[in-house]
A and B are shown apart, each in its own frame.
Chain A
Amino acid sequence: MKKFVFYPGCVMQTEQYALDLSLREILPKFDVELVDVQGFSCCGEPLKSVNQMLSVSLAARNIALAEREGLDMFVPCPMCHLAMSECKRILDSDEEMKQRVNTFLKDDALTYTGKATLVSILDMFHEVIGLEKMKKKVTQPLDSLKVASHYGCHLIRPSEIGRPDDAENPQKMEQILSTIGAKPEDYPEKLDCCGALLNANLPETALTKTGQKLQKIEEYGFNALVDVCPWCHRQFDARQKKAGETVAAKLNVPVVYLTQLIGLSIGISEERLGLNLNLSPVEALQNGGN
């Protein structure tokens, strides 16, 4: 059993329950134990526009909480993972900034040291568990499911601070998908943004971006769009209908979390994977995409 502190972030634990649920369901099957810790807050990234000192300190505070448990930290949300990776990069290379941030954390009786390693959702499967081990557990391969992957900007960029996969040609998600029997295919818009971050001030434009990408995916004839980010998923799945309206199209793209597909492939029930929480037409998946 490998143990990790589970950092849930905001969007996943307050709204995107399917991701939360499916992770908790499948990880123990791969001998990974998640430790829930009270006291976490927002990762800071959504407030970067407002005050980056604040956002770096929030990230540091969360890491410090995990460090107190003496465990590494599993950060499934790509945006949170970005915030914390960036915080780590800044504080680990700049003693002065580290001290400044730590003076604030003192109020909360916390210290950032830099000990804990951050594990992203991709690397949890690709590195920590490993494809070999995953393959052994697959009982219901997702045969013939032609899927498009969406990594989300924050999982692959900026590579300068170290991201889980290559910025221009990420393939880990494809490898995981192939392992569970699906047929992932690259498409030109793979690296494009979902638009989610414009929701704060320009929700219409955000939806246009979402709609445009979904339209392309539909055009290419994919059976489903697979994502890992609760922000992206909210755009593609929950807001699909509205997104369609902004681009004057009726969209019909099943959108699923990678973890849900993994769950299906190892024989976990749809219900336990929260598949009924997806608002896009995922029924199509239930018979292998046909």
Chain B
Amino acid sequence: MTNKIGVFVCHCGINISQTVDVKALTTYAKGLKDVVVSEAYKYMCSDSGANLIKESIRKHKLDSVVIACCSPRMHEHTFRNVVESGGVNAFNLEIANIREQCSWVHNDKEKATEKAKALVRGAVAKARFLEPLEPSKVNVTPEALVIGGGIAGIQTALEIADKGYKVHLVEKTPSIGGRMAQLDKTFPTLDCSGCILTPKMSEVANHPNIDLLTYAEVKEVEGSIGNFTVTVTKKARYVDLDTCTGCGDCVQACRLKGRISSEFDEHMGKRSAIYMPFPQAVPLKCTIDVSTCLMLTKGKCGAGPLCVEACEPGAIDFDQKDEDIALNVGAIVAATGFDLIDEDIVYEYGYSRSKDVITSLEMERLINSSGPTGGEILLPSTNEKPKSITYLLCIGSRDENACSWCCRIGCMSALKQLYLLREKLPDVELNLCYMDIRSYGKKYEEFYRTVRGINSNVFRGRPSEVRKNGEKLVVDVFDTTTGKLFEISSDMVVLVPAIVPRDDAGDVARMLRISQSNDGFFLEAHPKLRPMDTATGGIFLSGSCQGPKDIQDTVAQASGAASRVVTILSNDTLEVEPLIACVDEDLCSGCGTCISVCPYQAIDLMKMDDGKSSAKVNEALCMGCGACAASCPSGAMQQKGFKDTQMIPIIDEMI
């Protein structure tokens, strides 16, 4: 029991005081039992506010503090530090949220003030029963996991590794590199994507601190900040990585050579069933595609598998199995990148109706000199050179029927491609339909000006559809600059598609226990102040999995995420909140209900000296979710800081 309680009411500028009568509330609080001081201040979270609290604690020898202010999500941490430095245990603090739960959601001042009084009354009731708690310490595993090996994951992994910590980099596909490996030249500087990416990829491969796990997926994540246990499935490649030299003889020999559509080439080119996605792949090793390989699908490949025959070192192993490995890490970074919208959502633009309607990413593969056409721009339908190419921007973007958001790279990537196409095909007719050109980055607007000078036809308007007319693709567009409807007939239409989260983003989010914003991208802890953090401790975001980004922004965020990880790994131990479960062994009947509901396997049954069993909480594993306390039939399981003896008085007082 505490009986010297101080109540501190914050005006929050006018955020609270405009709707709640702060003066009346303060006077009211003063009259509550056990309250020895009640004061109001304009900004309780400011230095002066903090000093006011600290002085009151000293002057009135307070043993508990109630602060009526904004949500605990906002400032609980700040105020815990304040009361602690004033001499009261950090957990002898109770916050009455009279902003989000009161002033912001009501208009009627009188009623709002009454509600605020009830909230304060409840908080004081709980404060009487608060007990001091001490944070416990956990050891930190000085290793990190990075999920996704695009430029974001690569950058994050390298920077953590450079600081001397071990990094496990898990990539789903056979090679790292991500989307950037698929690109030709990059805006706004037009440096070749491969030239700036490949050195980083080999750095990853050779870094002593990086454990590269390609063709692998994270299956399970347990534990919490400082100590995660992770299960990673290494998918069977049917090729022994240590033996394979990456010579590619098997690729040439494969019976299905040139018959399997290549994902890396965005299905513009073909590969074998045994393949390396691209010549600079890291690791430069082969993988057998289990869904097409004749041996693996039919159990036989002609008179015998040609790849095995061709492989001199004997690296191929059809008996390989998926393998699960366990990792222990202190922090995790998600860097899973982005996808393009399913073009059928915007069916009117004809992607499914004509081979010559392609996406801008497919165009990257056509422009790229190591792409399926060796860098020649050819029509997919006829393999001839197009005489005219029309770009349509914002396909599915800024569209309430598809993706509300801006893809942030579409305009610039299309301008870049126009520039590159003009270089390759001096005589081709280039058209572009846009709504706005968004060239907001450094040197972007200058690049846009350059492209305006290269002889292209630019229309400001969104076409309604793409239709075929004989051999041509016809686009009608109302150009709002001239106020005229134009018909554009061209050989090829390039759609600049909306950027969406990876389709397994939901699964990854659930596994990591992080949230997604309503667009499906991973949600940061604060859009401005904590853009690399998630609301889950020890889990960070890197690159375009958090939202569409160009390479510059991706790399900036990737470095940020690395430094956030290092901030954690550089500690030997971490303090963890003591708001976890505890058992009253006398009350516990050993029924084990709590064990079955605990999602973290933090509870065990222990034999006591008197022979009966009792639940026991492993404090390092408990996350404080409260599931056990809620399910315990005898009330033996309690959650510190939220015990029945603390919560029931709130209810009794308030109603």
Contacts and interface: CB of A to CB of B under 8 A. Distances in A.
B162 interface: no
Interface string B464-476: 0001110000100
B472 to A, nearest CB: 11
Contacts of A168: 347-348
Chain A, interface SS category: loop
Nearest to A216: B469
Interface residues of B, number: 7
Chain B interface helix/strand/loop/mixed: strand
Interface string A155-176: 0000000000000110000000
Query: Which of A186, A188, A189: most chain B CB closer than 10 A?
Result: A188
Contacts, number: 9
B468 A188 contact: yes
B467 A188 contact: yes
A149 to B, nearest CB: 16
Contacts of A186: 353
Contacts of A189: 467
A188 B469 contact: yes
B347 A169 contact: yes
B118 to A, nearest CB: 34
Interface in A7-55: none
Contacts of B348: 168
B158 to A, nearest CB: 45
A105 B255 CA distance: 75
Contacts of B468: 188
A161 to B, nearest CB: 14
Nearest to A219: B470
Interface in A172-229: 186, 188-189
A165 to B, nearest CB: 13
Contacts of A188: 467-469, 474
A169 B347 CA distance: 7
A189 B474 CA distance: 12
A259 B469 CA distance: 30
Interface in B317-357: 347-348, 353
B353 to A, nearest CB: 8
Contacts of B469: 188
Interface in B337-381: 347-348, 353
B306 to A, nearest CB: 42
Interface in B424-482: 467-469, 474
A169 B467 CA distance: 13
B383 to A, nearest CB: 24
A69 B468 CA distance: 49
A186 B467 CA distance: 11
Nearest to A186: B353
A256 to B, nearest CB: 25
A174 to B, nearest CB: 14
B399 to A, nearest CB: 14
Nearest to A192: B467
A4 to B, nearest CB: 32
B340 to A, nearest CB: 19
Interface in A125-174: 168-169
B476 to A, nearest CB: 12
9 tightest Cβ-Cβ pairs between the two chains A and B: A168-B347, A188-B467, A168-B348, A188-B468, A169-B347, A188-B469, A189-B467, A186-B353, A188-B474
Given A188-B474, A189-B467, 5 more contacts: A168-B347, A168-B348, A169-B347, A186-B353, A188-B467
Interface of A: 168-169, 186, 188-189
Interface of B: 347-348, 353, 467-469, 474
9 contacts: A168-B347, A168-B348, A169-B347, A186-B353, A188-B467, A188-B468, A188-B469, A188-B474, A189-B467
